[in-house]
Amino acid sequence: MTAVKLYPPRPDKVYLFGTCLIDLFYPEAGMDAIRLLEREGIEVLFPEDQTCCGQPAYTSGYHDEARAVAAAQLDLFPEPWPIVVPSGSCGGMMRTHYPQLFAGSDLEAKAEEVAGRVFELTEFLIHVCHLDLEDRGEPEKVAMHTSCSARREMGLAETGPALLAKLGQVELVEQARAAECCGFGGTFAVRHPEVSAAMVEDKTQAIEASGAKRFVTSDCGCMMNIGGRFEKLNKSIQGEHIASYLWRRTS
């Protein structure tokens, strides 16, 4: 069972851990996350030496390699400020698995301290910023896809929908089997392509059947997988990272 997370008062400064997929494929999602935080009066610091959180190696069973990658991140956040991660997948790795990865080593205490300051973006906006939103967009039906890591490792099934519920012109529609995986799972999609393809096919059918005109997610891997399947099917349903969706509709 996921431990209860204690939330601090709104800080003056936070670190942003940008994630590989945002860095390489969806930089605007990272910029929009920064814009949302800065609009709340929070200074955002982005350590430029950050790289991967180590999750691909870790979930593939390469724990020594994952430990080397993760260790390089531990010194990047020296001040006691929250570390905001616009991804439940990377956030889950850092919060849940860093302490396990470094258990019994000289870095155990540092890994636990860093893990205790990790917050997924939607979690931080809801529970720390207590974000209020003024919707300036047109009426729209959207489906929310919450990644497996955000839902199960971090216990954050409700934070994304709670943010969307604050948009007065947005109707959040329920897709069938909303808690099911989209089939991405990092290297899972590479190791088991046929299974992954069947899973994303089921997910796209469920989103389309819901009547949604767009799907929103807080994980870029899921967005890439689901959106890529819709594109291959020549469907008009677009995906958007929740940071970009919130910023676009409220700025």
Would residue 22 count as lying in a domain? yes
Report the pLDDT value the prediction gives residue 233, as an integer from 0 to 100: 95
Report the pLDDT value the prediction gives residue 4, as an integer from 0 to 100: 64
Report the pLDDT value the prediction gives residue 3, as an integer from 0 to 100: 54
Q: Domain of 162?
A: 140-250
Residues 146 and 116 in one domain: no
Q: How many domains does the chain have?
A: 2
Would residue 216 count as lying in a domain? yes
Q: Which of 100-109 are b and which e, b meaning 16 or more Cβ less than 10 Å from the residue's Cβ?
A: ebbeeeebee
pLDDT band of 165, cuts 50, 70, 90: very high
Would residue 3 count as lying in a domain? no
Residues 151 and 218 in one domain: yes
Residues 159 and 92 in one domain: no
Report the pLDDT value the prediction gives residue 2, as an integer from 0 to 100: 46
Residues 150 and 244 in one domain: yes
Q: Is a pLDDT exceeding 50 seen at residue 79?
A: yes
Q: Among 83, 105, 127, where does a domain finish?
A: 127
CATH number of the domain bearing residue 233:
3.40.50.1860
State the burial class of residue 32 (Cβ atoms within 10 Å of its Cβ: 0-12, 13-18, 19+). buried
Residues 110 and 210 in one domain: no
Q: Among 127, 148, 177, where does a domain finish?
A: 127
Determine the Cα–Cα distance for residues 63 and 42; give it in Å rounded to an integer: 35
* Mean pLDDT of the residues in the chain: 96
Q: Is a pLDDT exceeding 60 seen at residue 1?
A: no
Q: Is a pLDDT exceeding 50 seen at residue 194?
A: yes
Residues 187 and 102 in one domain: no
Would residue 102 count as lying in a domain? yes
Determine the Cα–Cα distance for residues 190 and 194; give it in Å rounded to an integer: 9
- Predicted confidence (pLDDT) per residue in 91-150, tens digit: 999 999 999 999 999 999 999 999 999 999 999 999 999 999 999 999 999 999 999 999
Report the pLDDT value the prediction gives residue 6, as an integer from 0 to 100: 86
Residues 93 and 145 in one domain: no
Residues 92 and 17 in one domain: yes
Would residue 69 count as lying in a domain? yes
Average pLDDT over residues 69-92: 98
Residues 109 and 176 in one domain: no
Percent of the chain with pLDDT strictly greater than 70: 98
Contact 14, 45 (CB under 8 A): yes
Would residue 5 count as lying in a domain? no
Average pLDDT over residues 173-201: 93
Q: Is a pLDDT exceeding 80 seen at residue 67?
A: yes
Q: Among 99, 127, 155, where does a domain finish?
A: 127
Q: Is a pLDDT exceeding 60 seen at residue 187?
A: yes
Residues 89 and 171 in one domain: no
CATH number of the domain bearing residue 111:
3.40.50
Task: Extract long-range pairs of 187-194: CB within 8 Å, 24+ residues apart.
Answer: 187/56, 187/59, 187/60, 188/59, 189/225, 191/60
Sheet with 43-45: list strands edge to edge: 43-45, 13-16, 83-85, 118-120
Would residue 6 count as lying in a domain? no
Report the pLDDT value the prediction gives residue 241, as an integer from 0 to 100: 98
Residues 94 and 61 in one domain: yes
